[in-house]
A and B are shown apart, each in its own frame.
Chain A
Amino acid sequence: MELGSKVPKVDLSVQVGKLTLRTPIILASGCCGYGFELLRVNDFPWEDVGALVLKSITVKPRVGKPPPRVAEVTAGMLNAIGVQNEGIGAFMERIAPRLAELPCAVIASIIGTTKEEYAVLANALNGCSGIAAIEVNISSPNIERGGIEFGVDPKAAGEVTELVRRNWNGDVWVKLSPNAHDIALIAQSCSDAGADILVLTNTVPAMGLDVRSFPPKPLLGAVVGGLSGPAIKPIVLRKVYEAVRRLRQIGAKAQVVASGGIWRAQDIVEYLSVGATAVQVGTLLLHDVHAPRKLRTGLEEYALWVHKLMNDEKWLRISSYIGCALGACEP
C-alpha cells in the first residue's frame, strides 16, 4: 500500500427478507442459547453479528436427552440435546420481554411434534415485539415425533410452512434437513407455500462409538444424534447449490441462508458464491466465542483482495458475491 493511500471500506451488509443485516454472519439456533448468555462475555463482537436465532421453542416443556449430549469426532461434533426447553408459556413470560436488550436482530426458532403445534407456536409469537422473524425447524434429528419427519417430505414441509405463514405476520424462515432425498424439491415446496428464507441445513444424522471400552459404547446418551462442524461443510455446500439452482430456475423469490461447518471466512465466500445470501455459524461459536470478529476480518481481507484483482468497486460490497460462482458451476 502506498503512503497516504487509504484502505477502502468493505460493505458487509446484506438484505435477508425484510431484514437488513450489518454482516452476513448469523448465530445458529441451539448454539447461542437465548442470546443473553453472550452478554457476560467480555469483548463479545456484537458489531460483527448480523442476527441470532434463539434455541428452538416447543409447545410443551421438554426435559431433553440423557447425557452425554455432545461428543467430539473427526472434524466435527455430535449432539443429541433433544430440544430441552421450558415451552412457549415460560418463553413468553420470562424470555420474550427481555429480547429487546440484545444488540442484534433476533429470530425465534419453533419446532412442533404435530403440524398444528407449529401453528400454535407461530400464533403465540405474534405477541412478542422483539422477534424479527420465525425459523421453522423441520429438521431436528433429536426429537421423537415431528421435526425431521416434516423436513424430508416435500408435502409435509409445504403444509407446515403454510400453517406458519398463515399464523405469523413476519418473515418465515424454514430450516431444512440434509437428509431430504431431493432438497431442491423441499426448498421449492416451502417456497411455494410462502417461505421467505430457506436455511440449509440442520445437522447431519450421525452417531459414534467409544472403542476405549469393550464392547464399544455409544458416544451419546441418546445413541444417535446430529453431526455438525467442518466435516459437513462440503455436504451442505452442495445442498445450498442444488436449492439455489432450483429456486432460480422457477423464479422463486425465496432466499437461501447457508448453515453448516463454517470454520473460516473462505467457507462463507464459498456459500455466498453458490447463492446463499447469508450464513449461520453454530459449532464455531462454541469453539471460539470471538469467531464472528475473526470471520468478519477474513471476509474484509478477501473483499479487498478481489477488489484489487478485479479493479471494480462492486467487489467491496459483500452482497455482490451472492451467486458469483454459479456461472462457473454450470455443468
Chain B
Amino acid sequence: MTMEQTCYQIMAEVIKRDALNRFHRVHLLAPEIARNVQPGQFVCIFLDDGDSLKLGTSLGVRFIMPRPFSVSDVEGDEIEIAFSVVGAGTAAMAQLKVGDSVRLLGPLGKPFSWCDGHDVALLVGGGMGYAPLPFLSKVLVRMGVDVVAIVGAKSFDELPVRVTNRCVLEVGDVHLAADEFAKHGVPSAIALEQPHADAFCGTAVDLTLSWLKANEHRKVAVYACGPKEMLKCLQRILIERAIYGQFSIEERMACGLGLCFGCACKVVECGKECYKLACVDGPVFDAHMLAL
C-alpha cells in the first residue's frame, strides 16, 4: 500500500524553531505531506537550494545525499522534525531560521501499524531515536489505544526531550516524564544511565524490562526506535517473552524512494538472511525479523 502512496517534492518554509543543547526542532509548512503522513514515515531533507541546477548559478554540491527524518508530530499543515547535530548536514540544518525554505520529499516509507488484540502499546525511545514516537502516541490515543512511553538517555544533559512532572508513568521511583508524550496525554518515564534523583537509573531497556515484569498480565505491543545496541537488547527480550514489536531503524540513504538500493538492512525471512531497503520496505520492521 505504501509503495503506491503519492510522495511530494516541495519547498517547505520554516515556521518555528527551537533548540535545547544540541537537540533541535523545526516546524515546516508542508501541507501535502502533513495531510498524508502516518506515524513512522519520514521525509528527506535536501540541503541544496532548488535553483542550483540553473545555468550560470553556483554549483551546490556540499550535500549530495538527503537527510532522512521521521516526522515527530503533525499540526494542521505543519510537520515537526526533531534532530540532533551529528555531522555537517545536521549542523547546517541547525542554522535554519524562521522564514528559510528547504527542499522536502515525502511522505516516505512504511508506517507503524496497530495490531488488534493487544491491550497496550509500549513506546521505547533511545536518545534521539524517540523522534517518531510522539506522533505515533498521538494517533494511537486517538484510536482509543492505551499507550505508555519510555525515553532513555546517557545523562540528563543528553536528554533530547523536554522533561515534565505531568503524566508520569508509574514504574520504579520515577518522577520525570517527557513533555512530547504528556501533551498527548500519554504517561511516560525517563531512564538515565547516569544517576539522577527523579529518573530511573539504567537504560531504556532496563526500564522496559521492569515495566514488562510489572505488567505481565497485559498483552503488550512494543514500538521502539534508538541505537542498534538498544534494539538488539530489546529484541532479545521480545523474543524471550514472545512479545510483538515493531522497530524503526536508521540507515544512510541516497534517494528515499527505492531507486538506488543504498539503504540496505539485514533481515531474516523464512529462515534466510537477506537485505531489505529501509526507505521502502521500512523504516518500520517487524522487530522479530531484523538481523541486528
Q: What is the total of A-B residue contacts with beta carbons within 8 Å?
A: 140
Return chain A residues, CB-CB under 8 Å to B46. 287-288
Return chain A residues, CB-CB under 8 Å to B9. 41-43, 288-290
Q: In the docked arrangement, what's the CA distance between A4 and B6, Å?
A: 40
Of the candidate stretches A28-36, A99-107, A317-325, the one touching chain B is: A28-36
Chain B, 240-265, contact with A by CB distance < 8 Å: what is the 0/1 string?
A: 00000000000111110111111111
Chain A, 261-301, contact with B by CB distance < 8 Å: what is the 0/1 string?
A: 00111100000000000000001011111110011001001
Q: Which of B50, B64, B105 is close to A229, meaning CB atoms less than 8 Å apart?
A: B64
Chain B, 255-277, contact with A by CB distance < 8 Å: what is the 0/1 string?
A: 10111111111100000011100
In the assembled complex, A55 has its CB within 8 A of some CB on chain B:
yes
Q: Which of A37, A81, A231, A294 is close to B53, meaning CB atoms less than 8 Å apart?
A: A294
Chain A, 237-248, contact with B by CB distance < 8 Å: what is the 0/1 string?
A: 000000000000
Of the candidate stretches A9-17, A71-79, A191-199, the one touching chain B is: A71-79
Pair B55/A81 contact, Cβ less than 8 Å: no
In the assembled complex, A68 has its CB within 8 A of some CB on chain B:
yes
Chain A, 66-101, contact with B by CB distance < 8 Å: what is the 0/1 string?
A: 111111100111010100100000000000000000
Q: In the docked arrangement, what's the CA distance between A68 and B132, Å?
A: 22
| Total chain A interface residues with beta-carbon distance under 8 A | 47
- Distance in angstroms from B65 CB to nearest chain A CB is 5
Pair B55/A265 contact, Cβ less than 8 Å: yes
- Distance in angstroms from A307 CB to nearest chain B CB is 15
Q: In the docked arrangement, what's the CA distance between A294 and B55, Å?
A: 10
Closest to B53 in A: A294
- A interface with B by C-beta (< 8 Å): 30-33, 37-38, 40-43, 55, 63-72, 75-77, 79, 81, 84, 229-231, 263-266, 283, 285-291, 294-295, 298, 301-302
A40-B257, A283-B64 given; name 19 further pairs at CB < 8 Å: A31-B255, A31-B260, A42-B8, A64-B261, A65-B264, A67-B263, A77-B64, A79-B254, A79-B260, A81-B262, A84-B264, A229-B61, A229-B64, A230-B61, A263-B59, A264-B57, A287-B46, A287-B48, A288-B50
